[in-house]
Each structure stands twice: as structure tokens, then as C-alpha cells.
Amino acid sequence: MKSFNRQLLSAIIGFLIATSLQAESRTTQDGVYTKAQAKAGGKLYKTQCLVCHDKKYFRPVLKRWSGQSAAIMFDVMAGSMPESNPGGLQDHEYVDLMAYIFSLSKYPTGEGELQAAGLPEITIQEP
């Protein structure tokens, strides 16, 4: 398990360096997910996350992630959640969960769905 944690930390640090060199063009305030996507994420939240994380958990988490790429948050979630089965969900399910988490913090919805491939260009902005 320690080896996995070191590998995850190394990947995150490398990703931070790489993404800090890129100009990020959007923030979570720019309507980066749809209402339907957040609804799908809400269903997953009830079955996958609620046992450990109540809805109040996420607002302080997003404050801590402020200024970081949404891709980093995705990588951490996918690499460590759910605790009983890290990485056990599909990428689109983790993205839907992120959309739901963004909706809990009242980030605006948009016309296009949040996509895993677009996460490096989205900066999390403090709610």
C-alpha cells in the first residue's frame, strides 16, 4: 500500500508540474457540467460515497482544491475512492460524481458535459 501511495503522490506531483505550465482557460464558475450529469452523479453519490462523505464534506474540499486543475482532483478520486475499491468506477462515473460535487457548491451548469479529457483545462475556483 505504501508503494501505491508513493506512486500516486509522484503522479500527482508530476501532473501538477505539467499542468502549471499550461494556460488554463476555464474555471468551475464557467458552467463546465450539465444538470443531467450532476443528477447522474447524485445517484452514484448515494450508492458509492454517502456512507463516508455527507454533502457538507465537499465544500471545504473544493476550497482546498481552489486554484488546482480539476484533472488532479479526478486523479486523486479515481486513485483512492471508493475506499473499499479504489479505481473501481469507470472514468465517466468519476466525472459525473465531480459534476454532482460541483453542483453541491452551487457552481453554474452549462450546455456541455464535463469530460475527463477536458479536465486539465479546468481550474477549480473557490466556491
Domain range summary for the chain, segments of one domain joined by +: 26-123
pTM: 0.80
Is the link from the previous residue into 82 a cis peptide, with omega within 30 of 0? yes
The pLDDT value recorded for residue 13 is 58
* For residues 10-22, average pLDDT: 53
Give the H/E segment covering residue 30: none
More confident residue, 97 or 10: 97
* For residues 33-44, average pLDDT: 98
The pLDDT value recorded for residue 21 is 43
